[in-house]
Structures are given as C-alpha cells and as structure tokens.
Amino acid sequence: MAQDKAVFAKQKAQMQTGGGFIAALDQSGGSTPKALLQYGVEESEYSGEAEMYGEIHKMRTRIITAPDFTNAKVLGAILFERTMRAEIEGMPSAQYLWEKRGVVPFLKIDKGLAEKANGVQLMKPMPGLEELLTEAAQEFGIFGTKERSVIFEADAVGIKAVVEQQLEVGKMVVAAGMVPILEPEVDINAPAKAEAEEILKAELLAALDTLPEGDDVMIKLTIPNVPGLYDALADHPRCVRVVALSGGYTTDDACARLFKQPKMIASFSRALAEGLSKKQSDEDFNALLGSNIDKIYQASL
C-alpha cells in the first residue's frame, strides 16, 4: 500500500487534533522476552529468534484485532520492522491498521542505544536507513517513524548531542515523506530529572525553530515533573503533537501524571499491555484491554 497524499493528509489531521493516544507495539530485540514474559509466555515456550518473534506477533495481532482497538480511542500505533513486514488477517499490518481500524501506522527505526557518554545514550548507527524509509513510505504506506535515545543526567553537552542526533534523523524521515516522532526519553529515575527536562525543553524549542515550514515533527517525551512544562513545544507550528511515554510507571501512575499535562497525549507500551495474558479467554482479554485503553484514553483527553 503506497503512500497516498489524501490519506496522508487525513492521517496528519487525526494525529494533530484527534482525541486519543498512540499505542506503542514496537518492542524489539532485548525487550521482546520481557514483553512476552509479561504476557505469560515463558522463554521455554519458544526456541530461537523466529519463534520468539512469532509469539510476539500473535500477541500484537490479538491486541490490534480486539474490538476496542480502533480510532475511537487509539489514534496511531508504532510498529516494529518485523511487524510492518508481517500480515494481520491476510493484509500487511500497516494497511490493516489504517483500513480496518482507522489507526495511523508508525515504524520504529532506531537500532538500539550506544554506550553511555555525557550522561546520555545516543542512538546506534542505522545502516540502510534511507532505503528503509523509502520502503516504509512507498511500499507499506507508513505515516511516520519513531527513534529513541535516553537521558540519565542533567548534562547540557549530552542533551544537546541527543537533540542534534534526533533532529538529523528526523530530517531524513521528513525527506522520505513521513513525520518523525523524536523520542529523547528522560529516565524516570534520573536524580536531576526536572533539571534535565528544562535543558531538554530549551534544546527542543531551539531545534524546532530551525525547521522550515512543512517540515513537521512529533515529539515523544517522559511525563515531566512540572505540569505544562512542554506546552510551548505542543504549541510550536512545526510540532504536530507531543506524546508521553510511560517510562516504567504503572498504568495508574502514568495516567495520573498525564492528567496534569493538558497538551500531551499518551504513547504507552507496557502500560497498554498491563495484565494481559496469553492464557486469558478472548472475553477476559478483550475486557481488560478495553479497560486499559479507556484509562489511557481518558488521561489523554
């Protein structure tokens, strides 16, 4: 499903003004066994990478095809590259999301984190990124991307490097015809979290100011300590939306914190799947997922 200009415009409008949140279904590599364990799948139940990814695709399919997983409350979904290449009910995953659920498809593009330096972890190199971006937009109809780095300390040099790298990758995504979600996560256990967030806000505002009209981005951030801290980012003409990651908070805690941020919507991963189990009946699974979706939706309004 190649990208269509009218569809892209409709998707962008949904992301800018829609009520709801973005589901993060992009666990990869090292985080997959943890996500499966949370879902009640022991490591002894699969052998090797192919079977592991097969199990996680079954989990994601069950979530995406659940009755409450529609654009009534879920605006978008971030996919892992393998999920983009896989099918749901005989359709490419991104096409199924948009055509059957009305949910805007995003793709996680980072390859994980580099070693810690200056209080941050930058993204690892991404060989073949241009080719992947072209394929995502032109062959799979992906609307946007997501790329994550992590900030552990209020180190101005490190935070500046994080934002510069995020922007550099984001410009490549824009050039490929998509909207990037820049994700400079501040670790929730950072000792100077509030100070790091102030530095990050200033760097992000300066970065947004350099973007020409039409080069629009989204930003995914840890829920800040100060209510409304990132409102200026949300109001910036180059920012489509500011979204929040749950960052290890429980669903209830993350939602309570998000209530205090009127211009952020959720983009939760672990909090969305909290309590879900492979062993649940479809009725129980759908009821619990529906409850999680509603909690996160209410916190995002």
Cite the active site residues: 183, 220
Other C-beta atoms lying within 10 Å of the C-beta of residue 77: 26
- Work out whether strand 217-222 and strand 179-186 pair parallel, antiparallel, or are unpaired: parallel
The answer to whether the beta carbons of residues 208 and 167 sit under 8 Å apart is: no
Question: In sequence order, which residues have a C-beta less than 8 Å from that of residue 167 and are 6 or more positions away?
Answer: 182, 207, 210
Q: DSSP letter for 214, please.
A: T
Residue 164: both structure tokens together: 């510069």
Q: Give CA separation, 63 vs 67, 74, 175, 220, 269, in Å.
A: 9, 12, 32, 22, 12
**Strand intervals (E) in the chain:** 21-25, 74-79, 87-88, 91-92, 104-108, 120-121, 144-151, 179-186, 217-222, 239-245, 264-268
Other C-beta atoms lying within 10 Å of the C-beta of residue 20: 22
Alpha-carbon torsion angle 234, 235, 237, 238, nearest 10: -20
Question: In sequence order, which residues have a C-beta less than 8 Å from that of residue 90 and are 6 or more positions away?
Answer: none
